[in-house]
Structure formats: structure tokens, C-alpha cells
Amino acid sequence: MASLQDIGVSAAINILSAFAFLVAFALLRLQPINDRVYFPKWYLKGIRGSPTRSGALVSKFVNMDFKTYFKFLNWMPAALSMPEAEITDHAGLDSAVFIRIYLLGLKIFIPITLLAFVVLVPVNWTGKTLEGIKNLTYSNIDKLSISNVPSGSNRSIGNVGRFTISEYDKLSCYFQVLVKNVPPDPDESISEHVEHFFCVNHPEHYLLHQVVYNANYLAKLVAKKKRLHNWLVYYQNKHERNPAQRPTTKTGLWGLWGNRVDAIGYYTAEIEKLTLEMHNGISLAQENVERERVTSDPKAKVPAAFVSFKTRWGAAVCAQTQQSSNPTIWLTEWAPEPRDVYWDNLAIPYVELSIRRLLMSVGLFFLIFFFMIPIAFVQSLANIEGIMKVLPFLKPLIEKKVVKSFIQGFLPGIALKIFLILLPTILMTMSRIEGFASLSSLERRSAEKYHMFIFVNVFLGSIVTGTAFQQLEKFVNEPSTEFTKTIGVSIPMKATFFMTYIMVDGWAGIAAEILRLVPLVMFHLKNTFLVKTEEDRERAMDPGCLDFATSEPRIQFYFLLGLVYSVITPVLLPFIVVFFAFSFMVFRHQVINVYDQKYESAAAFWPHVHRRVITGLIVAQLLLMGLFSTKGLAKSTSLLIAQPILTIWFHRFCKGRFESAFLKFPLQDAMVKDTLERATEPNLNLRTYLKDAYVHPVFKGGELERPVAMDEEESSPLVATKRKSSRSSRHDSETGSEAGVH
Amino acid sequence: MASLQDIGVSAAINILSAFAFLVAFALLRLQPINDRVYFPKWYLKGIRGSPTRSGALVSKFVNMDFKTYFKFLNWMPAALSMPEAEITDHAGLDSAVFIRIYLLGLKIFIPITLLAFVVLVPVNWTGKTLEGIKNLTYSNIDKLSISNVPSGSNRSIGNVGRFTISEYDKLSCYFQVLVKNVPPDPDESISEHVEHFFCVNHPEHYLLHQVVYNANYLAKLVAKKKRLHNWLVYYQNKHERNPAQRPTTKTGLWGLWGNRVDAIGYYTAEIEKLTLEMHNGISLAQENVERERVTSDPKAKVPAAFVSFKTRWGAAVCAQTQQSSNPTIWLTEWAPEPRDVYWDNLAIPYVELSIRRLLMSVGLFFLIFFFMIPIAFVQSLANIEGIMKVLPFLKPLIEKKVVKSFIQGFLPGIALKIFLILLPTILMTMSRIEGFASLSSLERRSAEKYHMFIFVNVFLGSIVTGTAFQQLEKFVNEPSTEFTKTIGVSIPMKATFFMTYIMVDGWAGIAAEILRLVPLVMFHLKNTFLVKTEEDRERAMDPGCLDFATSEPRIQFYFLLGLVYSVITPVLLPFIVVFFAFSFMVFRHQVINVYDQKYESAAAFWPHVHRRVITGLIVAQLLLMGLFSTKGLAKSTSLLIAQPILTIWFHRFCKGRFESAFLKFPLQDAMVKDTLERATEPNLNLRTYLKDAYVHPVFKGGELERPVAMDEEESSPLVATKRKSSRSSRHDSETGSEAGVH
């Protein structure tokens, strides 16, 4: 156990480094040259342009107004001053609710900390280890953790629930439903089949549908065209600046080999060629849609469609009901936001999905408990002898003493580090294989996996010695109470370790987040070497986004630590509170100024957050029971069993009470909105508005015409109302601005 | 462990007693006097009348046609010959599917038994305990139990699913939805509030609604009137037979005390008085409905209603969707069949329901693990000294040696026996407190509880020594693997015990079921002493019904035994197969000739049956793992872990694939039926048909007029179509015939 002095040193180092990061950030963000690194959100919103202040060239890059340096910490009040409703408007509901997780942390831990310091610390300080008193105080705290925490989170969930309902209005996807597993029909194409099914079964509400294209080939062509177009603009600019000399390029690899040709002419011709090919591709896709029953390529068939309804009520009904007596076909769900759709997973049949999930859960089990085995194997290979064998020409270098010791000290760690860096990607790939249809659900699923990994390998791994697999073996072969006892006993001894962890990961790490060192360096590198056109500069700007899949499990780890140590070592609590407060501020700033979310899921992650906080609470209660039973307090231990039971009950109660706000759209609300809209906008042409909402990203941005088949259903005799409409829909303008970002 | 001879003796005794029961049944059922005991179903259907064969008086009571005695076993082919579709028609879907549980047992255990006797028994017989061979055979059987059992039950579930869907048509409740937790409204009565809500939110589909009355007081009055009416008929009959003398009665208790008055006049007057009181009651109920916002009695408010829709599609939509953004109000579900409604539970608010369920699950835990404590307490009280102290005048009797030893030997057992007899009632009461709204769900819930009780106290209790609480303690304080090991090791030793159990409970018990000794005796007692009128005789007939809450857990126990012993002691399997085959025959006969189901739930219990069979399978697999690990086969044990995982996955797959057939009514099917009906019966007056479907039982049978308020909504300006209709609806005739039974 580290002494108080060790902790002090560690605290000093971390606080200093955090402070250094903050100062660096405060100075760097004032320089106009870094403007696109620290305020990209505003650029993307079109509110802020490139710095064009008149004056000396130097003031374009360095801020000469020294007065501003004195107020270098004023980003903090600025970050806190924006009201929540405005954040929702500015950055989306997801971001606003994500910040609320930190607020929830503060709401839970500030009262606990105060109470712990009023009650527990004096008792420990005076050294009275009288069982009776301890027992009494413990149960006081128990009351706290039962009654206070849930009621806090309860209120919070209620708030978020209402918040979500009132804010989700702005999203348009209320009219649309995603239909998966459309069964094959021998006589009809998928499009016809969908049309007929919904005309028959939702005759009064069905409006139109959009089939899903397998546009992978087209997507490749579009990317290529974009690249060529960029070169063309570059050479045109060059030519404009220097009209005397026509720029030339080589036709080979990277413009370095091959025949030298006139650059502008070459790229113009190439783009034309590609455009032709793309049109062929479109008619191919169109043919696939039209005649997919005769096509031989099974991959071209995507038995899914986005169905739009005339009213929100009709869409709500369709999304919540079962369509066919076979519950594995005609599966309906709320259509995710267009940007949120994960197009590749729309075509997986039910049985395959079921098998994939089984395999992935087995895979996850092995990943969590046996991940050390391949790493140890790599480590055993990557020793000095191995390297010398494979790369004998490095022998003289390696044999130098400094290099040798460096490799020996560093290599084993590197394999693990690389694995940990790759882990989120691995988990995301696993989630993709499981076949979820939206990016947001993929992220939620990955977060779940990552949370389990952290719980087993970081939390339990730090407390109990040995690998996760050894713990598992212990868990199976020991009495279940024995395991909680073992952990319960070692927990107090690990408090200082976790304090240091919080300071490194939670304090300095968050401060590093706001400094954005990697994007800063990358931006300037790109700006110097790669940026050829204004569009390139736009693309070199990397606003990043809130990465739910990795940050949420990290927050949950702090929740877990706080709840576990709230009774055992309350001294740890202030560290947690500082983490939550600091993160709250930093992420509020980042959400306002930096991050640009790729999609909007209407805070669908909140029930997951809630469930994991509750899980943390139950773990804390069980460990407390384990610790108590070793102190010979068997009686009070068996009374404590009521705690997890009540917590689980509370969780189920909350689930029943609030969860549906995130999953379902009640008919009453739908009807109210429908009626309201009919009254306020009687001439709204819904068809125009919804027609192009779910177009595969490659058809966005006007570079490609959508296949004609999409409009074809308008002439269907089954649909009564028929209106021709202009292409520029309200929705397009909402999502079109995103097309340039990715 | 009992020797082979002991088993033989036990088998002989049980087979003989089963055979004796069967012979007694075969002889008794041929006597006309017992006709109403053994064929009540046909009487209730109106197909069979009281025996009125001409001839000697004696032939009215005793069958003199001796030829029929030779064919005394022909009930067996008769029971088997009726096709399943006809049984569904005759006795309802519930009964038909219940019999299918036995069929499922046969389908699972006949192949297992054959395979076990081909592979396992020879291996054991030759005494080769070579681990290798044993291992091989075990894994053969494992393959069997994984692949064969699920695929069998899979097919079965599929069949039952389809079966249900195709047969459920006949029930009318497709148009109706039960709405619970109607929120209070300061300005409107519940009836108005329901009307307005559905007119607004389901404008195109809402037809009418029926509010729920708190008719407990009325129900009492109706029962009293029935009793008085019966006496009146009795005295009228008496007077007719002997017109000279007017019968008299006394006005006091049971007609034994008080003033002697003219019987017919007295009862006529009493009935008139009661009728007046009832009319007051109705107007009271009506007032409650009309003005429940001002009434001071909170019990009179029942915030629930049965809402009928114009189309099945509209009802399916309403039942499957969430109505309000607050998911604890306006809860909709499929309306249970009118006879199936449990009226007392329709008014429980969400939070209270949640708390009740928590309390009851805690209660169930204590009931299962600590039920021995109060029984032991009663036993300690009910000893001879205790009795002599409380009832000193019995002292001389008790001190006789025979009586004393009888009491000492018998009393302790009696307390336990009484508890076990009361147990189903206790469990049913607990389920009632949990607040389910239909009788069928109450029975399903009780079956679940009873199943747990049997599993812990009969199955584990027979295998492991000690009380359930001691087992629980062991389970908590031992490694989880150790517990399965303990049980796994003791299982083979208990095989003979379970064989005897199967013979007593499963063979002789089922034979006793068909003899119906208790109803037989009761019928003749009532017939001799109580029956005064023809109506009384009708009522003395007690057809009984399939008691799902107790019989299904019993069947599940046999499934569990069969699955557990299939690998360990396959000799037990034939006993199980005989049980299933014999029960199948007996219950088929009973369902055809005797039982009269109180309600019809469209086999909603099938998913529960399936889940419990799967649970049994998993228990068997875990115990097998425990047994294996003690034999030093650690490696194959850890491979066996795949079994339960695959089984659970299979269960989830089945759940997703088939369960919704029991819970939801897909829109496609609803639409098909709506369209069909519109084409075939364009003039069907749905309003007439549905208006009186959900009337509280006391208003049934024409003795009471329904409160006028019920028809009032027809004149509501919000409903466009307005048709007056005759009172005798199709539905009434369906359910009215039941009114006399209860």
C-alpha cells in the first residue's frame, strides 16, 4: 500500500501535467492558425470562416492581441453558460444527453461524498473500530446508497425521458419504418412485394417506400471520382496562377511514373470516363432492383426497405406491431436516422442472425478471459533472438547494449498496448458481425462489450491477482460467497492504486482530451503537405466526435469505483467528484466547439447507461457483503441481501416506467402531432419531404442521379394520391450538409 | 438402495391397484345411475339426457345388459379414436393442447428409451466400466439429448403454434382489448374518458366500450336470490304432487326455528323484496359509473374498460401498441375471454402492482425454503400433552393406548399433509395478490410457483438430505460446482425411489383420476340428501376441469426425472414412458367425457411448458457435468459446458420464432380475416355481436338487467353509426350456457 506521501507526489505530478495541458490549450486556442483545430464545429455550421482579418501576415497566424491572454481561462465559464436546450439545438440530443451522464455522476457522488465525510471519516479517524459503531455507520451509508442513489437517478431518468420526448420532435424519422427480412416472392420484385404488402395491410396509412440498394460498387466509383476531381481543381488553380505554363502530370502510379500528359485535359477525360461508368453502374443497380428475381448474384438482393407513412400514427402502429404470423419475416422497427443506417447489415436473415449472435457471445467470452494467451505468444516470439533470426541484418544494431535493453524492456509491453488500442476496433467488428442495422446500436453494443472487458480485466484484474482466466477458475471452483469475500477483502488495499489511476486517466487524460494534440499535429502536417484546394483544407479539419463505444464504459468504470469505495474508503470519493466535474466542463466545451456527431440516435443509449450504473451498485453491494462477512458480521450480512434485491426491483420498476420512452412512440403523442400538423400546415407535401430521405450515401450530394426505379412507385395504380415534386426536399438540406464531412 | 425384488413387489402392488381402479371404473361407468358422474360433459352439452329408458325401475339404476360388460375396456380405443380437431371443437383448444403435453412426453422419451436400451444398457450389463467406452456412450446420448429433444420439441412447438393460429379463429375476443389504468380525470367519468380517448386516438377503428363494474354487492344478492328461488321451486313441486296440503316453512335459521308460515307465499315475497333491492343495487352501480368522481367510496371506482373495435386490425393495433407517453397508464392488452376475466384484479395501479410482485416473490422464496418451520411449530404444539391441556375432557379417551399411539404416529404427518393439500390454494392466493387480470394467467403463474416448489422440495429434497434451507445454505457456501457434484453423485442412488414414486403417483394416481371416487361419492350423497329440483341435480353434477396450476408442474416433474435419468439410469425411462402413455389415454378420455373447462385461453400456457422442459434439460445437463467431474473426466466435463449454452440459445431461438404466435395477432392475418368477413357477411352487425360480451357474471342469465349506462354510449354524438339491437347476441348464447355451471 502506497504511503500518503506517494499519493501526494503522484497527485502533484498529475495535477501539474493537467494544468500544463490546460495552459497549453488556453494559449494554442487563441492562435488564429489553430482555429480550425479548436473550433471546427463552428466552421461546419458555416458560422465561422477562415481568419481574414486585415493586417500583417503574422497576425493571420499568431494572436497579437495580448489582452486576450489574460483571460485565457474564460473558456470554462463559456462552456458552462450555454443552456442545455441550446446545446441540443447546436450539437444534437445525443451530445446533450451524453454530458448528462457526467451530471448524473455529480448528482450521485456529491451527496455521498458529503455524507461520507460527515459520518464515516470521523469514525475511522478516531480509530474506533468498535464493530457496533461501524455497523451502524455502514447501515447509514447503505440507506444512502439505496435510497439516495436510485432516487437521484430516478429523477434524472425521468428528466431525460421527458427531455427526449420533447426534443425528438425535430427529427423527421417519425414517418418512417425500416422493414427487414422481406420474404422472396417468385412473381414479384422486392420493391413490388413491399408495395403490395403495405398497400394491403396498412391501406389507409401507407405512403411510399424506398428499397435498399447494394451500392458498394458505386460507392467505390464515387470515391475515385472525388479524388480525380480534387486533382483537377488543384491543376486548374495552378494554371490560373501561372497561365503561361499548362501543368502536366504522369499517368502512372501516384503521378510519378508513366507518360507525361497535360494534367487538366487528362483529369477532365478521366472524370468523364468515370461518370459514364457510374451511369452504367446505376442502370445495373436499377436492373438489380427491377429484375432481382432473375439475377444470378445473390448479394445484389437486399430484402429490406424503408417504408414511409402518411401519418405519424400509421408509422407508430407499423413499427410496434407484428406484421406476419411468421415472426421472422416482415420485421419492422423505427427507421434509424438516415445518417445512422449501417447499410451493410440490412440483409441478414433471421436464422443467420441468431447463429451469428451465439458465435459472437462465445467469442466475447474467450476474448475477455483468454486474451492474454495470444499476447503472451506474440511476446514470446518478439524477443531479441526472434528478431535477430528473422532480420539478421539488424544484428549489429540490436547487439548494442542501449538498444538491447530498450527492446527487452519495451517489446513485451508493446504487444499488450497494441492489443488495447485495437480492442475497440475488434469489439466494433464483432458487433458488426452480430448484424445490427444502425451505427448507434453498433456503438451501444460495443460499449456493452467494452464495459464487460473493463470490469473483468481492469477492475477485477487490479484487485485479484492472476489472469482473468484464473479468476474464472477460482469463481467456479470456490463457493460463490468465497469469491466476493476474496475481492471484498482486497478492495481496501487497492484504494491508493485506484486513486493514482483516476489521477492519470481521469484528470490528466481529460486535460489531454481538450488539448487535442494528435488532431492539432495532424492538421498542421496535412495543411503543410497535402492541402491543395479549399475543399482539402475543409477535409483536413478533423472535428472528431464523442466516441460512445469507448468513453461510456470508461465513465461507468468511475461510477463503479465510486460506488464500491463510497463505504470502504470514502477518501477516494473526492477524486471521483473532481473527475466528473472536470469532465463535465471539458466535454461541454468540446461538444460546443469541436465534436461533430455523425448521427443522431435520440439518446437511445440512456437505458444502457442506467442499467450499467445499477449493475455497478449491485456489484458494490455484493462486495460489501463479502467484506462484512469476513469481519464476522454474519447476521448483518444476511440482512444486506435485501439491498441487491431492492435495487434489482427498482431497476425493473424504472425500466417499466421510463424505458419505453426510448423505444416506442406512443399513439397519443403521434395523434396529437398529426392533428397539429394538419392544422398548421394543411398543404405540406409529405411525399416530397420523405421521398429521398433514405438514399444510400453514394447518391447524396447530387453527383449521381438516383435510379429511376425509386420514383416508379409513384405511378403505381394502388396509391390514390399522386403528386410530382421537386427534388430538393427539406430532409436533403438537413443531411446534405453532412455529405462533405465524411 | 432398494433391491430388484423390492421394486418388483412395489410394481406388482401398484399395477394391481391401478388395474383394480380401472376395472372398478369400467364397471361403474356402465351403470346408468353413475351416468352423470362419468359423462357430465355430454350432459352439459345437452346431447345426453337423464336416463329415461322404459323398463323396470331397476334398469334405471343398474345396467342389466350383460353383453356390455364384456367390452368393459372399450373406453380406451374410444378415447383414442376422436381426432384432435374434433377434440378442439368439443372441449376447447386448451384441453386439446394440454393433452399434447403428454404427447410431447412420448415424442421425447420413446426415442430416448429405445436408444438408451440399444446403447447404454448393454454397456452397463456387461460391466465394462472402461472410462473410454463409457465416455463414448455418454457423448452419444448427449448428442441425442441435444439434437433430438430440441428438434422434437421444436417441431411440436411449430405444430402447436400453427394449430393455435388456425383454431383460435373461433373465439370472438379478437375485436376486443382490455384497457387498464385509465387515469382519473377531474371533469369526466371513466366511461366518458375512455370513450373520448379512443375516439381521438383510434378514430377509424373504435366501436364501443364497456366499463367494468364493481358488482361484488350485486353478486351476493344474485346468489341469495338463486337460493330462495330454488326453495320456491321445491315447495311448488311438493304442492303440485300433494295439492291438498300447502307446504309450510319456518322463517328462522335454515328453516328450523322461527314462525311457521306458508312456504310458497313466503318465498315469493322474499324474492320480490330481493328483486327490488337488486334494482336499487343496479342503480347504485349505475350511479357509481356515472358519478364516480363524486362518490366517496374509492372501491367503487374501477379504472378499466373493455374496448371493442370495428375491425380485427384495429384491435390488433391497439393491443400491441403503447397508447400514452406515460407507460403506466392506458395499458392495453388482448381482452381475455369473458369467462376468463378475473374481475377483482382490474383496478390495481402500476406502482402498487410492482410492489405486490416484489413482496410476493420474497414471500415465495420463504415459502419454498422455510415452509418446514411453521409446520414443525404446529407439530410441536399438536402433541398429546398439548391436546390434553387444551381439551381436558378428552383425557380419558386419549389415554387409551390404541388412540395414543394412533395420534402419536399420525398427527405429525397430518400437519404436513394439510399444508400440501392447501399449497395450491396458497399459491393461487399469492398469484391473485400479484394482480393478474385473467384466470388463465393466474393459473399459469401458480403453476410456475408450484413447479419451483416441486423442484426444490421434491426433486432436490429427495436427492439431497436435509431441509430446503440447509440445501440453500450449502449452495451458497459451497463452490457452485461442488453442489452439482453432490447432487450428481446422489442421483444414481435415488433411482429406485423415483421408480416407486412414479408407480404410486404416476400410475395408480392416474388410474384413480379416471375412477373419480370423490365426485362419485359426492354426487350420490347430494343426490340422496340435497337434490330437491331438476336444477339441483344439474348442479350436483361436478364435472371438474383440468387443473393446470397443479397438473402441469406434476408433468414437468416427470419430464425432469426422465431427462436427468436418461443417461444415468436409463432403466427408469420405461416407467416414464408408461406414465405418459397411460396419462395421455386417461386425460383424453376425461377431456372428452368429463371435464368442463371454465374458460379458454387459446393455449397461452404452451410457451411456459416449453420453457420448463428446456429448464429440465439444462438441469439434467448440469447434473451430468457434476457427475462426470467426480469420475475424473474433467476434460470432457468442460466440453460439456457447450450443451447448456446451446440449449439456452435454442430456447431463445424458439422463443423468437414461435412465442409471438401465442402473444400477438399479426396484422396480416387480422387484415385477411377482416377482408374475408366483409366479403362473406357484409351485413354483420358487429355492435350487436360485441355489445354485451364483457358483462360481469352477475348480469348474465337474464336475472338482472344491465345498468342503462352501458347502452348509453350508443347515443354518443362521437360515434357515427348508431344501431339499436336486440339483446340476445351471438356471444351471449356462447357463454350463457356456462352460467349454470359455476
Q: Quick one: which of A233, A230, A266, A234 has its CA closest to A249? A: A266
What was the pLDDT predicted at A472?
Answer: 73
Which pLDDT band, with edges at 50, 70 and 90, does B381 fall under?
A: low
Q: Which of A203-217, A380-394, B164-178, B309-323 has the lowest mean pLDDT?
A: B164-178
Write out chain A residues lying below 8 Å of B484, CB-based.
none
What was the pLDDT predicted at B508?
Answer: 85
Q: What is the pTM of this model?
A: 0.79
Q: What is the mean pLDDT of chain B?
A: 74
Residue B260 has pLDDT above 90, yes or no: no
d(CA A384, CA A402): 13
Residue A432 has pLDDT above 60, yes or no: yes
Cα separation values, B17 from B10, B509, B524, B578, Å:
11, 10, 24, 15
For the four alpha carbons of A327, A328, A331 and A333, in that order, the dihedral sign comes to positive
Write out chain B residues lying below 8 Å of A481, CB-based.
476-477
Write out chain A residues lying below 8 Å of B480, CB-based.
476, 479-480
- pLDDT tens-digit profile of B223-253? 777 777 777 777 777 777 777 777 777 666 5
- pLDDT tens-digit profile of A299-325? 556 788 888 888 888 888 888 888 887
How close is the nearest chain A Cα to the Cα of B469, in Å? 14
How close is the nearest chain A Cα to the Cα of B675, in Å? 10
Record: contact A482-B482, CB cut-off 8 A: no
H/E stretch holding B101: helix B93-125
The three-state secondary structure class of A431 is helix
Write out chain B residues lying below 8 Å of A669, CB-based.
325
Residue A71 has pLDDT above 70, yes or no: no
d(CA A557, CA A456): 11
CB-nearest partner of A481 from B317, B327, B476:
B476
For chain B positions 666-705, those within 8 Å of chain A (CB to CB) are 666-669, 671
- pLDDT tens-digit profile of A456-492? 888 888 887 666 677 777 777 777 677 777 777 788 8
CA end-to-end span of chain B: 48
Cβ burial of B472 (10 Å; 0-12, 13-18, 19+) is middle
CB-nearest partner of B660 from A327, A645, A661:
A327
Q: Which of A201-205, A276-280, B363-367, B631-635 has the lowest mean pLDDT?
A: B631-635
Residue of B nearest to A659 (CA): B327
Phi, psi (deg, nearest 5) at residue B731: -70, -40
Residue of A nearest to B647 (CA): A358
Record: contact B653-A354, CB cut-off 8 A: yes
Residue B110: HSE in the Cβ half-sphere, 13 Å Cα cutoff = 10
Write out chain B residues lying below 8 Å of A658, CB-based.
327
d(CA B428, CA A121): 51
Residue of A nearest to B329 (CA): A657
Instruction: Please tell me what DSSP assigns to residue A307.
Output: E
Per-residue DSSP letters for B577-601? HHHHHHHHHHHHHHHHHT---S---
Which pLDDT band, with edges at 50, 70 and 90, does B520 fall under?
A: confident
Residue A714 has pLDDT above 60, yes or no: no
CA end-to-end span of chain A: 49
d(CA B434, CA B348): 10
d(CA B557, CA B575): 13
d(CA B640, CA B621): 8
Write out chain A residues lying below 8 Å of B325, CB-based.
165, 661, 666, 668-669
Q: What is the mean pLDDT of chain A?
A: 74
Residue A73 has pLDDT above 90, yes or no: no
Record: contact B323-A668, CB cut-off 8 A: yes
| Phi/psi-derived region of residue B130, left when phi > 0, alpha when psi is between -120 and 50, beta in every other case | beta
CB-nearest partner of A321 from B320, B649, B657:
B320
Phi, psi (deg, nearest 5) at residue B337: -55, 145
Q: Is A479 on the interface with B (CB under 8 A)?
A: yes
Record: contact A667-B321, CB cut-off 8 A: yes
- Top pLDDT among B508 and B541 is at B508
Q: B585 near B74, Cβ under 8 Å? A: no
Q: Which of A238-242, B156-160, B235-239, B489-493 has the lowest mean pLDDT?
A: B156-160
- Top pLDDT among B424 and B621 is at B424
Q: Quick one: which of A447, A467, A445 has its CA closest to A456? A: A467
Average pLDDT over residues B602-629: 83
- pLDDT tens-digit profile of B422-456? 999 999 999 999 988 888 899 999 999 999 999 98
C-alpha cell read off for A30: 487563441
Residues sharing a CB contact under 8 Å with residue A646, sequence separation 6 or more, in sequence order: A146
- pLDDT tens-digit profile of A363-387? 999 998 888 777 777 777 666 666 6
Q: Quick one: which of B186, B180, B168 has its CA closest to B209? A: B180
Counting one residue from chain A and one from chain B, the pairs whose CB atoms sit within 8 A come to 121
What was the pLDDT predicted at A426?
Answer: 93
Q: Quick one: which of B507, B616, B547, B592 has its CA closest to B104? A: B616
Record: contact A200-B657, CB cut-off 8 A: no
Record: contact B476-A476, CB cut-off 8 A: no
For chain A positions 559-618, those within 8 Å of chain B (CB to CB) are none
Give the percent of chain A with pLDDT over 90. 8
The three-state secondary structure class of A72 is coil
Cα separation values, B686 from A504, A535, B156, B600, Å:
72, 67, 36, 22
Residue B731 has pLDDT above 50, yes or no: no
Per-residue DSSP letters for A197-212? HHHHHSTTTEEEEEEP
